[in-house]
Amino acid sequence: MTANLSRIGIVLTGLCCFSVTAAETLQHNPFARPLITNLSTTNTTTAETVVEEVIWNPALTAVMVAGKNSLVNVDGVIVKLGDEIDGYRLIEVKDYQAIFKKGRKRVVLTIAIQSMRKNKE
């Protein structure tokens, strides 16, 4: 009798372990990238971090100067004064120019007048 109880106990223990392992397997995403740890001994506080700044230079194709209702066309997208595109806020519209601001950085986009003159000829 005790042999049967010990067998049942072993079977139940095995089933419990199997069900926990199966549940853990189902919670794991097989398509997730593995976590790669840096095993080097370099001190990360003294290592220089290089951040490459992406230059934002879209094509300004049209402006409509109308005070607070001014609009610009940037890469085919109409942007209203005060709206943002790619994190840059349109702060001012002038003839042939649109001025955007992101943080402390200002970007002035200008319509290529040379290309407009070539099209007229």
Segments forming the whole domain that contains residue 4: 1-30
Do 26 and 68 fall within a single domain?
Answer: no
In a domain, 20, yes or no: yes
Q: How high is the pLDDT of residue 15?
A: 52
In a domain, 38, yes or no: no
Do 66 and 111 fall within a single domain?
Answer: yes
Q: How high is the pLDDT of residue 39?
A: 56
Q: How high is the pLDDT of residue 88?
A: 95
Q: What is the mean pLDDT of each run of 10 residues along the chain (121 residues)?
A: 59 52 53 60 56 79 94 94 94 95 94 66 58
Count how many domains the chain has: 2
C-alpha–C-alpha distance, residues 18 and 30, integer Å:
19
Q: How high is the pLDDT of residue 83?
A: 95
